[in-house]
Structures are given as C-alpha cells and as structure tokens.
C-alpha cells in the first residue's frame, strides 16, 4: 500500500490515476472497508490540495465518498447462510468488532477533510463541485455546517446540475439531520430551471413524505410529465445515489402516502423508461408485499391495479431482471408470469406455484 500511495504523487498523470484505483482496490471491496482504509485517507485529502488534473481530483473525491459510506463485511453479511453457524462465536464477534472500529476510524479520517471539500465547492469544474458536495453529504460530523454551506452554495451557484445535486444530497443528509423543507418549497415556486425543480421536488418527497403539500406535489408531477426530464436526472445522478447512498431515484418516492402515490405512480408509468423498468416501479408500489393467495384483482388498490396492468402491457416483461414480492411466487419466466397476471386481471383468483 505504501508503494501505491507514493505513486499517487507521481508527476505522471497516468501513473497517478492507475495508482489511485490500485489503492482503492486494496482498501475497498464491494462496499466493505479493509483494515488499512483509514490510514490512506489523510494522504488522499492532502492530494486533493495538490492535484492539478481535474479527472484525478474528481476520482479522489469519489474514492473518499466510498470510504465514508463503506461498511464492515462481517456486520453486513452476518445473516448470510454461510455465516449463520459461526456468527455467534467469539472469533466472529471479535472480528466484527475490529472491523466496526476500523470503519469508525475511516469515517473519522474522512470527516477531517470537511474544510477541504467545502473549498472545492468553489472549483471551476462543475463535475468537481458535484463530487465535493457528494463527499460532504457522506460525512458524519459537522452536519449543520455542511447543510449551511449547501444552502449558501445553492444560492450563488450558476450551474443547474450542481444545484440539482445539492438538492438530492441534502435529501440524503436529512437521514442524519433536519433540513429546511422551506428551502425546497421556495425552489419549487422560483424561476429555477425545470431540472432543478424536479430534483428539489423529488428530494422534498423524500424529506417531507406524507407531509408534502399538495401545491408542491402538483409542481413535482408537472415536472415529471415533461419529456426526458427524469431521464436527465437519472443520467447524471442515479449511479452516484446507488454507489454511495444505496438509493435509487425511485426510492425517493417511497415516503409518500397512499393518496400521494395514487397521483405519482400513473405519471411515472408514462415516463419513457430508459433507465428503469416496470419491475422497479413494481417494487416501489408493492415493497415486497405478498398478496394473499386466493385474492382477486378487485381486492387491490387502484394504484396496485394500474401497476399490474402496466407490467402486463410491457413488451419487455420477459427480460425482467428482478421479480420481487408475489411475482417471484408465480414462478417461471416473464412470459409465464405475464399469462398468470392476465388471468388475475380477468377475474381468476391468485394462485401460486407450490
């Protein structure tokens, strides 16, 4: 690791870039942090203040965001079948305790760079400004300071995608600290661009949930109805949300109540889905709920009925990559599921494969 760290300070851009990813592979694997992760962080923060190549600078920030959201392998995987017999052993518990201490130390190390990340919110590259905001949203300390800087930065920011990012990142921070609902409502009623309003509306849906006002929901639905606007948000932010927050943009709607869902889902069903499919919407609506066997179509809510009809009408159902909830229990491939759902819609009771 020492060799890799030294190479990251090379005068050669290619060597610095390759070494950064070599280091990343050593300290982070599929969401889990290695014991040495925290020791690498101070060097990476120093490199942020010295790096001159924008692409490498951006990647260092995203490496730090990964480290700030990484986890203990034992903690996350203790319920796996392979670990069930040994998870209560002294050895496993001691290993998990050590890993959790390492994770905490890594988080603390990342948090020490908060002022550096704040300074990078003013970088001339919008990609780096977004990456700096991403790292800040992943920090665990000084959250009030981070939120305050986000509010101020939003008001003086000129780029619409940076503004859209700040709104989404504030929504994630709301899991740890209260954020200003009025901030998002003001954006929705301002002259900001449509992509900024859409991002703010989705973020407000996540933060306020069932307390989101009808007026704010009206504006959100209006923006969702604009062609390709949601897809633009996906293009720019979906991978970041999944990589660092383990959230999809569709997950931001999950805190709405049934009445709000009834208004939003039909609009989402009409959006051109170049990034998500009906299987994702199905998961959002049913949330792995198992409909009791023997149920009839009319027993479902209007939103549930509408979603099932949309799934049946989707020509790509046979390629569905995820079938959760009761779809899983129907068995077979997508075409088999489709035929069973058609029968369900036409009045047959729901029957699962045994």
pLDDT tens, 250-280? 999 999 998 998 899 889 888 866 666 667 7
How many other CB atoms are found less than 10 A from the CB of residue 328?
A: 14
Pair (9, 122) in one structural domain: yes
Residues 309 and 327 in one domain: yes
Judged by average pLDDT, the poorest of 188-197, 205-214, 237-246 is: 237-246
CA distances from 119 to 48, 69, 97 (A): 10, 21, 35
Q: Show Cβ contacts of residue 212 under 8 Å, excluding neighbours closer than 6 positions.
A: 204, 205, 256, 260
| Coil, helix or strand at residue 293 | coil
Q: With a cut of 90, say whether residue 16 has pLDDT above it.
A: yes
Res. 348 pLDDT band, cuts 50 70 90: very high
What span, in angstroms and rounded, lies between the C-alpha atoms of 295 and 282? 18
Residue 29 pLDDT grade (very low, low, confident, very high; cuts 50, 70, 90): confident
Contact 123, 129 (CB under 8 A): yes
Note whether residue 167 is domain-resident. Answer: no
CB neighbour burial string for 295-327, b if at least 16 within 10 angstroms, e if fewer: eebeebeebbebbbebbbebeebeebeebebbb
- Name which residue leads in pLDDT, 76 or 212: 212
Alpha helices in 271-313 (DSSP H): 278-286, 302-313
Q: Which two tokens stand for residue 108?
A: 């603390």
For residue 165, tell me if it sits in a domain: no
Q: 1 and 134 share a domain?
A: yes
The tokens for 223 are 């923006």
**Residues 215 and 255 grouped into a single domain:** yes
For the chain, what is the mean pLDDT?
88
Q: Are residues 261 and 283 in the same domain?
A: no
Residues 229, 294: one domain? Answer: no
The overall longest dimension of the chain from CA atoms, in Å, is: 71
Structural domain span for residue 180: 176-272
**Please, what is the end-to-end C-alpha distance for the chain in angstroms?**
53
Burial of 106 (0-12, 13-18, 19+ CB in 10 A): buried
Q: Is the dihedral of CA 6, 12, 16, 18 positive or negative?
A: negative
Q: Which of 120, 141, 162 is the last residue of a domain?
A: 141
Asked if residue 154 is part of any domain, the answer here is no
User: Are 58 and 128 spatial neighbours (Cβ–Cβ below 8 Å)?
Assistant: yes
Q: Which residues pair with 33 in a beta bridge?
A: 28
% the chain with pLDDT above 70 = 88
**What's the structural domain count of the chain?**
3
> Which pLDDT belongs to residue 1?
45
* Signed CA dihedral, 168, 173, 174, 179: sign only: negative
pLDDT band at 233 (very low <50, low <70, confident <90, very high): very high
Cα–Cα distance measured from residue 276 to residue 294, given in angstroms and rounded to the nearest whole number: 30
Q: Same domain for 192 and 257?
A: yes
Burial 15-50 (b: 16+ CB within 10 A, else e): ebbebbeebbeebbeeebbbeebbbbbeebbebbee
Q: Check whether residue 309 and residue 260 sit in a common domain.
A: no
Q: How many of the other CB atoms lie within 10 Å of CB of 101?
A: 13
Does residue 339 fall inside a structural domain? yes
Q: Rounded mean pLDDT of 324-352?
A: 82
């Amino acid at each position: 690791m020492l060799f890799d760290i030294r190479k990251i300070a090379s005068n050669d851009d290619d060597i610095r870039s390759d070494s950064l990813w070599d280091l990343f592979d050593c300290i982070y694997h599929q969401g889990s942090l290695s014991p040495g992760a925290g020791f690498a962080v101070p060097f990476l923060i120093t490199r942020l203040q010295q790096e001159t190549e924008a692409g490498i600078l951006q990647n260092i920030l995203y490496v730090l965001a990964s480290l700030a959201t990484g986890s203990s392998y034992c903690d996350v995987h203790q319920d796996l079948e392979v670990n069930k017999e040994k998870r209560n052993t002294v050895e496993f518990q001691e290993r998990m305790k050590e890993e959790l201490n390492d994770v905490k130390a890594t988080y603390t190390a990342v948090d020490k760079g908060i002022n550096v990340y704040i300074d990078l919110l003013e970088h001339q590259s919008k990609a780096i400004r977004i990456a700096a905001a991403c790292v800040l949203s992943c920090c665990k300390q000084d959250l009030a300071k981070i939120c305050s800087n986000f509010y101020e930065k939003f008001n003086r920011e000129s780029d619409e995608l940076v503004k859209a990012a700040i709104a989404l990142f504030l929504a994630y921070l709301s899991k740890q600290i209260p954020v200003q609902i009025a901030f998002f409502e003001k954006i929705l009623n301002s002259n900001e661009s449509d992509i900024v309003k859409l991002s703010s509306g989705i973020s407000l849906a996540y933060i306020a949930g069932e307390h989101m006002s009808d007026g704010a929901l009206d504006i959100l639905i209006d923006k969702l109805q604009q062609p390709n606007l949601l897809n633009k948000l996906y293009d720019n932010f979906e991978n970041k949300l999944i990589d660092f927050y383990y959230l999809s943009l569709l997950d931001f709607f999950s805190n709405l109540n049934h009445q709000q869902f009834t208004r939003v889902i039909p609009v989402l069903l009409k959006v051109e889905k170049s990034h998500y499919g009906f299987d994702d919407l199905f998961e959002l609506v049913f949330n792995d709920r198992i409909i009791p066997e023997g149920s009839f179509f009319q027993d479902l809510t209007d939103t549930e009925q509408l979603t099932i009809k949309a799934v049946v009408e989707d020509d790509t159902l046979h390629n569905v990559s995820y079938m959760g909830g009761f779809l899983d229990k129907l068995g077979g491939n997508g075409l088999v599921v489709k035929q069973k759902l058609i029968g369900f819609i036409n009045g047959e009771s729901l029957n699962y494969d045994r």
